Amino acid sequence: MTESTLLMNAEEMIKALHLLKKYGISISIDDFGTGYSSLSYLGKLPIDCLKISRSFIQDIREDYSNSEIAQAIISLSQSLKLQVIAEGVKEEY
């Protein structure tokens, strides 16, 4: 799910996500970093993974400013003990 979807009806969405987790379903936030979500919700959400938006990855070799954003999301994920996936990565750096 995307960040935008989470905030449409945040309290109801949190309840629904907790129910899905009870059934063993893993939950990821897609395109993280491109929406308007509040970081305060990350601690409340029963999520397993943040997916870094492809927009921060696609030209990372040419524009290193995006690497700082990606690194910040990785650090945030690690501190919250979440998995992190960078969309669109095709080569190992």
Of residues 65 and 37, the one with the higher pLDDT is 65
Of residues 75 and 12, the one with the higher pLDDT is 75
CA 80/CA 58 separation, integer angstroms: 25
Which pTM value belongs to this model?
A: 0.76
Average pLDDT, the chain: 82
The structure tokens 């990350």 sit at 42
DSSP code of residue 39: G
